A and B are shown apart, each in its own frame.
Chain A
Amino acid sequence: MGNLLSYIIFIPLIAAAIVLVLPKKLEHSYKWVTLGASGLTLTLAILTILKFDATKTGAISSESTLQLVEKTEWFRISLGSIGSFSVDYFLGVDGINLSMLLLAAIVLFIGVIASWNLKKKRKGYFSLYLLLSSSVLGCFVALDFFLFYLFFEFMLLPMYFLIGIWGGPRREYAAIKFFLYTLLGSILILIVMIGLYNSVYDPVRTGEMAGYNMSSTSIEQIQALVKSGQIETERLVKSFNMIYMADAMNYIPGSVLDNDVIKTVFGQPARWMAFLALLIGFAIKLPAVPFHTWLPDAHVEAPTPISVVLAGILLKIGGYGLIRTAFIMFPDGAYHYSWMIGFFGMLAIIYGALNALAQKDLKKLIAYSSVSHMGFVLLGLAAFTVEGVTGAVYQMFSHGLISSMLFLIAGVIYDRTHDRLIENYGGLSIQMPKFAVFVGIAFFASLGLPGFSGFIAELMVFLGAFKSSHVIGAIPSWMPIVATLGLVLGAGYYLWTFQRMFLGQFWVKSKEWLPEMEDLNTREYLMLVPLVILIIIFGIFPSLLLNLIENGMGGFIEHITASINP
């Protein structure tokens, strides 16, 4: 099991190929293949967690901190005056992405159960789902920017078709809107990627090319040689390695993104501009207000399992990307814009909640609550404290589970009546008591009740955000104060919705729906119960996950504060 992470990426890919070649006679087996592949990746993801040594800490910009590393050269190209650059097949896990990998594996597995009763064009659906799984999982463990970008872009295409073919009435519009918005974000990231790899060199390969024996020469020695000009710029091997990009020493002297000399682009420092481009790129994915408008459309039109994957994992890639690239590579830019990031986080929390309050469609309400909850991720990151960023990652994990559950709940109702308007239901707890219990748990977990994972996450974000103003001065303390209003609003829309739909006398709009209004079936239990258990476990024993996250986050905060201290 040396190549654990490769197995995780390639098993869904192979399964997709199997689904494609299986004849139509075996149509009923597609979902079993998919389930098997997702189950296998989930097992391997858990195995990764078990193999991960949480006590091992180190600098975030050093490859020695990573575990389960796989690194082989993919190709190296020499292109005229650009010089040579290398692209690696480079995978690895650390405190930042390990929890995300686990989350992705869990949500993808549950997504397959949610797709169980799908009838329309099953071959296409399950092969696209598996392709999506592969690229999502790959995105979290890829540590080479080129590879990361490949996975990051490649997930758009399956998603486009999954929404566009199996979605609701306005699916075409929602699918293309999703694709165009996120592609715009990716392009901004691509622009920075071009700048980055032209500014960063690979010290190991450069040393080898320059004729040093890399087993006896340290990376620091090579870096010193480059700095002093003894290895000329023409002989450097440029690199896409995200870990090298994190180390300010690996920037080519005199390049546009070099840390030591401030260069400007359109009158602004280039590194700040690069950070801003990455920020917007990933904020579209996150999505942060004001780039969130694609999300409600995509969610409303997407079929239930795709909504689950979208809210549960795809949004997290935005947050993860911010941490992995923007914050780690441009800490100076991050610090400069921390006020703005915090402000937009706060704005998302309030604005998302207010929008959710006004929604008539249950799925749209959940979509806006997602916008609101992802605001906490931005607020936590902007705080620049260990608590804040740990909270941000914890929030991503917790929201991944909770929002998956919320979308499954919306799916349960939609499956029965093909209607999601809140006003069309009343007193459902009488007809569907067990369902009401699950909805209650999900709503309370989402509004941040103690005992559920969301509480821990939001608490840590607030702790970090309040601490920020006197520890490092990244964001003023009125921001978390205003953001607490979001919690109140959250309680407001959830309780109000619960009251309207589940309390009082049983009533549904159309009599035809009555025979359909049965309580949960086994399949639905199978999806909801594991999520409830996980939400409660991570709410009561946060240390299970915090241990994994925190050792990465300590190094992360050290890394970004070290480079911004005057």
Chain B
Amino acid sequence: MMTLLQQGDLSTKLEQIGESLTWLLPEVTLVITLILLICYDLIFKKNKSIGLATISFVGLGFSIFLSALQWNQESQLNLFDGLLHLDKLAIILKILFCTVLAGSLIIAVKANQDRDDFFESSELNTLLLGVLIGSSFMVMSTNLILIYLSIEVVSISSYALTAITRGKKKAEAGLKYLIFGAAASAIMLYGMSWLYGFTGSLDISSETFISGLQSIDIVPLSIAGLLTLAGILFKLGAFPMHIWSPDVYEAAPIPIVNTFSVIPKLAALGVLIRLSLGLNPSTIDWPLWISITAIASMTVGNFSALWQKDIKRMLAYSSIAQAGFLLVGIVANSEAGFESLLFYGMIYGLMNLGAFYLVQLLENKTGSTQFEAFKGKGSEIPYLGILTVIVMISLTGLPPTAGFNAKLFIFSAVYETYQISANPIYMLVLIIGLINTVIALFYYLKLPYFMFLKSNSSQVPLTKYRLSELILGTLLITPLLLLFFRSDWFVDLVNSINFGL
């Protein structure tokens, strides 16, 4: 190969790489931020928190800004010779990831300093940035190797994040996560090797890959597809690869949980969208698989969440159910499906951010995330209580919150597909999915229920909240109401994405 490479080829190659690099500026910014964080940590000895926080926020802000600048480019870019694929789908998700991470860091700032100081040293910040960088590459990659690598970047950072903070429980959760994750990765890699073997191509968006799969017999193709899917479902935290998530969620501090519950999940969905586009024309009944996973995730997640006594555990199971709802967009397997999935994803990010922020504020005062600890606290902190009700209603998916629109659109997309194909599985997804909302209501209302309906048992009054905390909470919650009334703002955004269907 090397001998064939002429001098001219090399220079064009280098030129290409240089040009591609300019499109990677948002990620480059994140890497620079990461390095700066480490250097800052090494240079300064005391009072590092302000500096570390500033570097993190500035870095994220720059990255968002640079991504936003790329928004208006029309064509889809194939960077590094087709290794990365930069389109509006990737940009929108990357901006969302940065925003969510910034939100997580805001929660971290608010976290009780005595228990987990996130800005004491740079480790947590750098690891969180690792999750972000991995996820950003996940949504851009169409190459099997790169998908695997970026998933591993996310995973390794996540294992460390789970186990790094003090406590026996955390070590246990981290180990569980590691073992389970390593197995899932290995399985996925094996599946990917089959796919490569079938087609001779690593690029899932390429013509050779798509047409190559069409001629493969259904049995081996199904095996390869299922194995590959396993790794992605693991990141998504969807049934049947969801078992790790409640333990990890319970053990990890709230800002980290917020990151885990949104960024890798949506990144996995981004990969799934691209994989769906590739697998669609092949012989396997892709929508049926995803339908079963979606239905199972919703139902298992919801029913498990019913019995939880801890808010974080409840939210963990609920995020399994939400993964099921998000998968509905893949089930619909149409432009409307993917668009409503992204809309749902954005709203989901906002809702989770709001929910975890409030849980953090509550935990700061009571020192616990058990439901019992909030008995009758609603009358002491009515404003916070109202915000909690709004977030929970939005997570359930009732009007007048954006969660309702998200559910409405995503199930409309499934209905649309049903109307075209008349396959009853879509109708089943629609009905079971929406009925699941009723189950979800029961546990989402649990926190308002304990806050307002139960009477206060402890005599110790809560200390007052600072005004800044309440204003921030309001700012995080208002979009949920606003986007119900004007959901066209976000929908127009996702509508401009071209999925190449």
Chain A residues near B (Cβ < 8 Å): 74-82, 121, 124, 149-150, 153-154, 156-157, 160-161, 164-165, 171-172, 175-176, 179-180, 183-184, 187, 190-191, 194-195, 197-198, 255-256, 263, 265-266
Partner of B445, one of A121, A153, A179, A265: A179
> Shortest 3 CB-CB distances between A and B: which pairs?
A80-B335, A80-B336, A82-B336
Distance from A135 Cβ to chain B, minimum over Cβ atoms (Å): 10
Contact A191 B431 (CB under 8 A): yes
Segment at the A interface, from B41-49, B63-71, B117-125, B487-495: B487-495
Contact A176 B488 (CB under 8 A): no
A97–B339 Cα gap in the complex (Å)?
38
Main secondary structure of the interface of A (DSSP, over half): helix
Partner of B453, one of A156, A165, A190, A265: A165
Partner of A180, one of B393, B399, B442, B491: B442
Contact A150 B495 (CB under 8 A): no
Q: Is B16 an interface residue (CB 8 A)?
A: no
A77–B493 Cα gap in the complex (Å)?
11
A164–B385 Cα gap in the complex (Å)?
15
Partner of A187, one of B336, B382, B427, B438: B438
Contact A77 B488 (CB under 8 A): yes
Contact B487 A266 (CB under 8 A): no
Contact B435 A76 (CB under 8 A): no
Contact B335 A81 (CB under 8 A): yes
A180–B487 Cα gap in the complex (Å)?
27
Contact B419 A255 (CB under 8 A): yes
Q: Is B303 an interface residue (CB 8 A)?
A: no
CB-defined contacts of B453 to chain A, threshold 8 Å: 161, 164-165, 171-172, 175
Contact A183 B438 (CB under 8 A): yes
CB-defined contacts of B404 to chain A, threshold 8 Å: 153
CB-defined contacts of B398 to chain A, threshold 8 Å: 153-154, 156-157, 183
Contact B419 A266 (CB under 8 A): no
Q: Is B449 an interface residue (CB 8 A)?
A: yes
A–B complex contacts, Cβ < 8 Å, 11 sampled: A75-B487, A82-B336, A150-B400, A153-B399, A176-B449, A180-B438, A187-B434, A191-B431, A194-B411, A194-B430, A195-B415
Contact A79 B400 (CB under 8 A): no
Q: Is B457 an interface residue (CB 8 A)?
A: no
Over the window 387-408 of chain B, the binary record of Cβ atoms lying under 8 Å from chain A Cβ atoms (1 yes, 0 no) is 0010001000011100010001
A74–B399 Cα gap in the complex (Å)?
15
Distance from B149 Cβ to chain A, minimum over Cβ atoms (Å): 31
Q: Across the two chains, which residue of chain A brings its CB closest to B334?
A: A81
Q: Across the two chains, which residue of chain B brings its CB closest to A183?
A: B438
Distance from A265 Cβ to chain B, minimum over Cβ atoms (Å): 6
CB-defined contacts of A184 to chain B, threshold 8 Å: 435, 438
CB-defined contacts of B454 to chain A, threshold 8 Å: 172
CB-defined contacts of B415 to chain A, threshold 8 Å: 194-195, 198
For A80, A153, A176, A195, the residue with the greatest tally of chain B CB atoms inside 10 Å of its CB is A80
Partner of B488, one of A75, A156, A160, A195: A75
CB-defined contacts of B413 to chain A, threshold 8 Å: 79-82
**Interface residues in B319-359 (C-beta closer than 8 Å to A):** 334-340
Q: Is B366 an interface residue (CB 8 A)?
A: no
Contact B491 A183 (CB under 8 A): no
Contact B422 A263 (CB under 8 A): yes
Q: Across the two chains, which residue of chain B brings its CB closest to A156?
A: B398
Contact A124 B411 (CB under 8 A): no
Q: Is B211 an interface residue (CB 8 A)?
A: no
Chain B residues near A (Cβ < 8 Å): 334-340, 379, 382, 389, 393, 398-400, 404, 408-409, 411-413, 415-416, 418-419, 422, 424, 427, 430-431, 434-435, 437-438, 441-442, 445, 449, 452-454, 485-488, 491-492, 495
CB-defined contacts of B337 to chain A, threshold 8 Å: 80
A154–B390 Cα gap in the complex (Å)?
12
Q: Across the two chains, which residue of chain A brings its CB closest to B439?
A: A180
Contact A81 B449 (CB under 8 A): no
Contact A194 B408 (CB under 8 A): yes
A80–B413 Cα gap in the complex (Å)?
9
A265–B337 Cα gap in the complex (Å)?
21
Contact A164 B452 (CB under 8 A): yes
Contact A266 B424 (CB under 8 A): yes
Contact B400 A154 (CB under 8 A): yes
Distance from B330 Cβ to chain A, minimum over Cβ atoms (Å): 14
Contact A79 B434 (CB under 8 A): no
Contact A198 B334 (CB under 8 A): no
Distance from B417 Cβ to chain A, minimum over Cβ atoms (Å): 8
Q: Across the two chains, which residue of chain B brings its CB closest to A255?
A: B419
With contact pairs A81-B416, A82-B413 given, residues A165 and B486 touching in the complex (Cβ less than 8 Å): no
Q: Across the two chains, which residue of chain B brings its CB closest to A123?
A: B382
Partner of B339, one of A79, A124, A266: A79
With contact pairs A79-B409, A82-B412, A165-B453 given, residues A176 and B334 touching in the complex (Cβ less than 8 Å): no
Q: Across the two chains, which residue of chain A brings its CB closest to B442?
A: A180
CB-defined contacts of A76 to chain B, threshold 8 Å: 488
A255–B412 Cα gap in the complex (Å)?
14
CB-defined contacts of A79 to chain B, threshold 8 Å: 336, 339-340, 409, 412-413, 491, 495
Distance from A269 Cβ to chain B, minimum over Cβ atoms (Å): 13
CB-defined contacts of A180 to chain B, threshold 8 Å: 438, 441-442
A77–B495 Cα gap in the complex (Å)?
9
CB-defined contacts of A160 to chain B, threshold 8 Å: 445
Partner of B449, one of A149, A172, A198: A172
CB-defined contacts of B449 to chain A, threshold 8 Å: 164, 172, 176
A77–B409 Cα gap in the complex (Å)?
10
Contact A80 B334 (CB under 8 A): yes
A394–B337 Cα gap in the complex (Å)?
45
A121–B453 Cα gap in the complex (Å)?
12
CB-defined contacts of B430 to chain A, threshold 8 Å: 191, 194
CB-defined contacts of A81 to chain B, threshold 8 Å: 334-336, 413, 416
Distance from A264 Cβ to chain B, minimum over Cβ atoms (Å): 8
Contact A176 B431 (CB under 8 A): no
Contact B382 A80 (CB under 8 A): no
**Given contacts A153-B398, A183-B441, could you give 13 more A-B pairs where the C-beta distance is less than 8 Å?**
A74-B485, A76-B488, A77-B487, A157-B398, A160-B445, A161-B453, A165-B453, A176-B442, A184-B438, A194-B430, A198-B419, A256-B419, A265-B427
Q: Across the two chains, which residue of chain B brings its CB closest to A147?
A: B399
A157–B452 Cα gap in the complex (Å)?
13
A194–B408 Cα gap in the complex (Å)?
7
Contact A191 B434 (CB under 8 A): yes
Distance from A259 Cβ to chain B, minimum over Cβ atoms (Å): 15
CB-defined contacts of B379 to chain A, threshold 8 Å: 121
A359–B442 Cα gap in the complex (Å)?
30
CB-defined contacts of B336 to chain A, threshold 8 Å: 79-82
For A76, A153, A183, A197, the residue with the greatest tally of chain B CB atoms inside 10 Å of its CB is A183
CB-defined contacts of A171 to chain B, threshold 8 Å: 453
Distance from B496 Cβ to chain A, minimum over Cβ atoms (Å): 10
A263–B424 Cα gap in the complex (Å)?
12
Partner of B399, one of A82, A124, A150, A266: A150
Contact A187 B437 (CB under 8 A): yes
Distance from B346 Cβ to chain A, minimum over Cβ atoms (Å): 14
Contact B495 A78 (CB under 8 A): yes
A194–B486 Cα gap in the complex (Å)?
19
CB-defined contacts of A175 to chain B, threshold 8 Å: 453
Q: Across the two chains, which residue of chain A brings its CB closest to B430?
A: A191
A27–B419 Cα gap in the complex (Å)?
55
A382–B427 Cα gap in the complex (Å)?
29
A176–B415 Cα gap in the complex (Å)?
30
Distance from B241 Cβ to chain A, minimum over Cβ atoms (Å): 28
Distance from B304 Cβ to chain A, minimum over Cβ atoms (Å): 18
A124–B453 Cα gap in the complex (Å)?
12
Contact A198 B416 (CB under 8 A): yes
Contact A165 B452 (CB under 8 A): yes
A184–B434 Cα gap in the complex (Å)?
9
Q: Across the two chains, which residue of chain A brings its CB closest to B340?
A: A79
A255–B420 Cα gap in the complex (Å)?
9
CB-defined contacts of A77 to chain B, threshold 8 Å: 487-488, 491-492
A80–B334 Cα gap in the complex (Å)?
8
Contact A198 B412 (CB under 8 A): yes
